[in-house]
A and B are shown apart, each in its own frame.
Chain A
Amino acid sequence: MEINIRPIKDERVDNRAFREKAISEINADEVIIVRNLVKSYGPVRAVDGISFSVREGELFGFLGPNGAGKTTTINLLTGLARPDSGEILLAGIDVKKNPAAAKFQIGVVPDESNLYPELSGFDNLCFCAALYGMRKAERQRRARELLEFFGLSEAADRKFGDYSKGMKRKLTIAAGLIHRPRILFLDEPTTGIDVASARQIRQLIAGLNQQGTTIFLTTHYIEEAERLCQRIAFIVSGRIVRVDNLENLLQPLRGQFNLLLTFAEAVNTSGELQEKISSAFPDFIFEWVNGCELRVRSTRPIAVGPLVRFFEDEGCEILEARRIHPSLEEVFVELTGIEAEQMKKEKEIKEKPGQ
Chain B
Amino acid sequence: MKRSLAFISFWNILVKDMRTYYLKPPNISWGIIFPLAWTGMFFIRSGSGLSGIMSLLPGVVALSILFGTTSLLAVTITFEKKSRSFERLLLAPISLEQLLLAKTSGAIIFGVVNAFVPVLMASIIADLRGVKWGYFLAAVVLIAMASTFLGLFIAVAVSEVFEAQTFSNFFRFPMVFLCGLFFPVSKLPIFLRPLSYVLPLTYGADILHGAVNNGSNALPYWLDFLVLAGFSLGLFALSLRNVKRRWIR
Contact = CB atoms under 8 A, between A and B. Distances in A.
B217 interface: no
Contacts of A130: 8-9, 11-12
B249 A103 contact: no
A114 B9 contact: no
A49 interface: no
Interface in A110-144: 110, 112, 114-119, 127-128, 130-135
Contact of B90 (A79, A104, A119): A79
Nearest to B245: A82
B4 interface: yes
Question: Which 7 pairs of residues, A with B, have the shortest CB-CB distance?
Answer: A133-B5, A130-B12, A131-B92, A103-B93, A114-B84, A100-B93, A114-B85
B184 to A, nearest CB: 44
A155 B45 CA distance: 54
Contacts of B8: 130, 133-135
Given A80-B91, A101-B93, A103-B91, A41 B249 contact: yes
Q: Which residue of A114, A115, A131, A134 has the most chain B CB atoms within 10 A of its CB atom?
A: A131
A161 B85 CA distance: 13
26 contacts: A78-B91, A79-B91, A81-B249, A82-B249, A99-B93, A103-B92, A108-B91, A110-B84, A114-B83, A114-B87, A115-B88, A116-B20, A116-B85, A118-B19, A119-B16, A119-B19, A130-B12, A131-B9, A131-B12, A131-B89, A131-B92, A131-B94, A132-B9, A132-B92, A133-B4, A135-B8
A112 B93 contact: no
A112 B83 CA distance: 9
B166 interface: no
B95 A133 contact: no
B5 to A, nearest CB: 3
Contacts of B13: 131
Nearest to B90: A80
Given A114-B83, A116-B16, 14 more contacts: A81-B248, A82-B249, A101-B93, A104-B93, A110-B84, A114-B88, A117-B83, A119-B20, A130-B11, A130-B12, A131-B88, A131-B92, A132-B9, A133-B6
A78 to B, nearest CB: 6
Interface in B1-30: 1, 4-6, 8-9, 11-13, 16, 19-20
A118 B20 contact: yes
A82 B88 CA distance: 17
Interface in B70-113: 83-85, 87-95
Contacts of B83: 114, 117
B9 to A, nearest CB: 5
B84 A112 contact: yes
A100 B95 contact: yes
A82 B249 CA distance: 6
A127 B16 contact: yes
Interface of A: 41, 78-82, 99-101, 103-104, 108, 110, 112, 114-119, 127-128, 130-135, 175
A133 B9 contact: yes
A131 B91 CA distance: 9
Contacts of B4: 133
A127 B4 CA distance: 15
A100 B94 contact: yes
Contacts of A116: 16, 20, 85
A127 B19 CA distance: 12
Nearest to A134: B8
Nearest to A128: B88
Contacts of B92: 103, 131-132
A135 B249 CA distance: 32
A127 B12 contact: yes
Contacts of A115: 85, 88
A115 B8 CA distance: 19
A99 B93 CA distance: 7
A351 to B, nearest CB: 14
Contacts of B248: 79-82
Contacts of B19: 118-119
A233 B38 CA distance: 62
A79 B90 CA distance: 8
Nearest to A133: B5
Contacts of A41: 249
Nearest to A102: B93
A114 to B, nearest CB: 4
A109 to B, nearest CB: 10
Contacts of A135: 8
A131 B6 CA distance: 9
Contacts of B1: 133
Nearest to A107: B91
A80 B87 contact: yes
Contacts of B90: 79-80
B168 to A, nearest CB: 23
A311 to B, nearest CB: 50
Q: Which residue of B1, B13, B16 has the most chain A CB atoms within 10 A of its CB atom?
A: B16
